[in-house]
Structure formats: structure tokens, C-alpha cells
Amino acid sequence: MHDVIVIGGGPAGASASIYLQRSKLDVLLIMKDHGTLEKTGHIDNYWGFSDTMDGKELVIKGLEQAKRLGVQIKEEEVLDIEKDLFGEHKFTVKTDKETYEGKTVLLATGQSKPNLRVKGFKEYTGKGISFCAICDGFIYRNKKIGVVGNKKFMSEELETLSNFTKDITIFTDANELTVDVGDYKVCHGKITEIKGDEVINQVITENNTYDVDALFIAMGTPSANDFALRMGAIIDKNNIVVDDKHMTNIEGLFAAGDCIGGLLQIAKAVSDGAHAALAINKYVRAL
């Protein structure tokens, strides 16, 4: 049985696994892919790098560091997590390939980002298509920006982007607009295609064509909380609720990174992972 099973290989999960491994615990990290950070084209606001780095490069470096220190990493999809109901400190994690047991589990799977399933979306992701207004908004100051979304998350991204430009069009992608967006232009039509040259320059809907310099995806914030919900963990506004030790209301179940809400930034996720790891180390050694 592992001391801790970390689910998620992003900044929070990798950071936690590094601290846990250095604490001489038996650590297993399970990850399906590199997460939403892989889609981040330019990172300029993370400490320690003199040159711009893309998200995939950063997450790969973090995982390589974890491997070098001895962390076991499995690239598998987690299907279910169960906690022993008879008082034993044991979690069972079922993946698409294997079943694992751990004394504790750390959820660090981030927040899933819905994608537009239209022609050109994958091609221009990272080339004008962004998932983070606070990360990339500055790049497009005084430019034409499109924002895709219809709920509160979209309005929060809109507020951030409004600091850089007022030329913003909101695309609901044929969904009902549920928040007030003031006087900003709104397109209610279905997006059918995204066009560009080296970078995006047009959003095509069923009724019109819009020129844009960037397109920000803010289609809600469905957090990666399914596993927590199944075990009875408390969820608030799509975020997993944790205490100051990053433990949920389920003993032995911890969470860190974007899935607990707050500032959705790499620096914060790395910090979360470190704090959670220190708490898990104390918890496991007290069992």
C-alpha cells in the first residue's frame, strides 16, 4: 500500500509529489495527461525563467524532476476512488489499467476546460486562443478580443480583459447568457469555425464573421470534483472545500491546486502542492 496517491500531474500534483518523495514516503502519482497547462502558449509570470516558456515544457520539467527523485508515475485514467468504510486508513483507486491502494489521496486534477469542437480550434490553441485572461490579456491590449462563455466565469474573465481593451465581443455559442455584461457586444449564434494565418484572426458563426486578434475560452468552470463528490466531500461553487491543511471533510482525502479554487495561477498551484505535502507527511506519520 502506498503512503499517498497523488492524482494529477500538473503544478500542484508534481510539486506535492516532490516534497512527499523527499520526505521518504511511498508516493504514486497518476495522471491522464498534462492538463490544461499544456494548452498555455506563453508563460512570462512564473519566477525563475528568463525566457518565455510554454506550459507543456514547464509541466514536463516538473515531472522529470519528480521522476529523478524517485516518484512512481503512472499515465492512466482514474475511473473511481473509494474509501474504506470500516475505519481502516485505506483508499482504493481504480484506473483504466490497474487498481491501487493508498493510506491517503491528494486530488490535484485542476479544473477541466470545455473546448469548442469546431474547425480551427485545435490549430489556433496557443496561437491566439487562450484559456487565461490574467495570463494573456496584457498581450492583447488595445486589440480586438473575443470571449466565449455565458456564465459567471465568463463575466470574471471579461472584467479582467476590460483592463486591456474595450473592443470585446462575447460569444455565447448559442447558449443562454446568464450574467449581465453591460454594453459589450454579444453574439448569440453558434460558432462554426475559427480561421487565421499564423495566428487566429476570425471567428465564424452561423450568421456572421467577426475579426479578432484573440479568443478567450471561458465556458464555465466545471471543476474536477467528481471523485470528491462521490465520497461525500463538500463542494462549494464547483470547488473542493479544504481546511488549512488542505484536507477535505473526508479524513485522509486532500486536495490542492485549481480544484480548490482561488487564484488560478501556476505559482499558487505549486504552493498548494507544497503545503498539502507537508500536511500529508505529518498525517501519515501519525497513523
pLDDT at 59: 87
pTM of the model: 0.67
Question: What does the angle CA 89 – CA 259 – CA 134 come to, to the nearest 5 degrees?
Answer: 155
pLDDT at 131: 81
Residue 67 vs residues 14, 71, 79, 196, 264: alpha-carbon distances, Å: 10, 5, 24, 39, 25
pLDDT at 238: 74
Q: For each of the domains in the chain, give its residue range(s) and CATH number, in order of start.
A: 2-112+222-285 (3.50.50.60), 121-217 (3.50.50.60)
The β-bridge partners of 99 are 94
Q: What would the grid cell of residue 92 be?
A: 482504493
pLDDT at 88: 75
pLDDT at 222: 37
**pLDDT, block means (10 residues), the chain with 287 residues:** 95 96 97 74 80 84 94 90 83 92 94 81 93 87 97 87 97 95 96 97 96 91 63 86 96 94 91 98 96
pLDDT at 224: 56
Question: What does the angle CA 156 – CA 157 – CA 162 come to, to the nearest 5 degrees?
Answer: 100
pLDDT at 219: 84
